[in-house]
Structure 1
């Protein structure tokens, strides 16, 4: 769990991650597939991203060429402006407050035990502070447009009203839950 994660978002996200760990033993690393855990509570919407680096930058190791370094820098810049990648239902009145990214192969973060050689991942926590997060019923996800190698996004959502699982495949980009 990221030490910078706001306390309000930590409990539902921790529960969601524990549920995910029980449902999927081991770390599944599938190129073209991204996992999102979305936690919605009374103050924030937190999105945890877990993606093979190949799906984001096209390789899973430290960049070796100027072109690869540029690709990695551009991808990280896009992820750091997550408010453009995740458009939350306006009724929630959210603003991006924090983006923490971890990709040891790209030179930031620490290598994780058990990570298979040659299979670099990117993980991140993206926090939106909101006036009324529980009113949100959808997030428009811009990952398909930003990263063409992504073919599928598997999502778990924890809200005060319940838990949901969704899968987005191109061209669908709207993640919705609850009563519509």
Structure 2
């Protein structure tokens, strides 16, 4: 993927994240809740996932046992297989293009002092390249099935037809927006 395309795809998501951060005070993460930002652009749909590590692996620190290491590896593999976590309306013609994960407690990204001991998070940027992303009218989100610790997903959507907020609660994983 060329840099221009990547910048064009990620710019709306970054703008959305900055607006969201300015609009709401920064609070400590909440177990069971996951934040999902969705940017629908002219050539891509980009997701930014932000979750307490506990929601994803069941603990918030570096793995201490072989079983915890295996759990963490399996969870990261699921996140990297984002095409199974996000099923975009076929009308958009999307294919998974890129997954970038940041979870310092699991050795991904830059370590933050004290984070490896507790209150670790996982963040991910996921890009789907699409023929016509504006044609998408729904996204089936399988995060509840993949990660039992997730009970609620707070969603911010930036699309050509507006900005939308949605909350998904177990078991409903279908995300819709805009006028139908």
Write the mapping of 1:36-51 to structure 2, written as runs, cut at 5 A: 36-51=36-51
1:125 and 2:125 equivalent?
Answer: yes
C-alpha RMSD of the superposition: 1.9
Moved over 2 A (4+): 111-117
Report the Cα distance in structure 2 between the residues aligned to 1:165 and 1:6, rounded to whole angstroms.
Answer: 24
Structure 1 residues 105 and 45, CA gap change in structure 2 (3 angstroms): same
Report the Cα distance in structure 1 between the residues aligned to 2:27 and 2:103, rounded to whole angstroms.
Answer: 15
Report the Cα distance in structure 1 between the residues aligned to 2:14 and 2:94, rounded to whole angstroms.
Answer: 21
1:93-142 per-position Cα deviation (integer Å, ceiling 9, x unaligned): 00000000000000110134796961100000000000000111111000
Checking the alignment, whether the CA contact within 8 Å between 2:105 and 2:116 is kept in structure 1 is no
Unaligned 5+ segments in structure 1 are none
Structure 1 residues 71 and 115, CA gap change in structure 2 (3 angstroms): closer
Q: What TM-score do you get using the length of structure 1 for normalisation?
A: 0.94
Number of corresponding residues? 178
Checking the alignment, whether the CA contact within 8 Å between 2:9 and 2:44 is kept in structure 1 is yes
Report the Cα distance in structure 2 between the residues aligned to 1:116 and 1:74, rounded to whole angstroms.
Answer: 19
- Aligned twin of 1:162: 162
Q: What TM-score do you get using the length of structure 2 for normalisation?
A: 0.94
Write the mapping of 1:53-132 to structure 2, written as runs, cut at 5 A: 53-112=53-112, 118-132=118-132
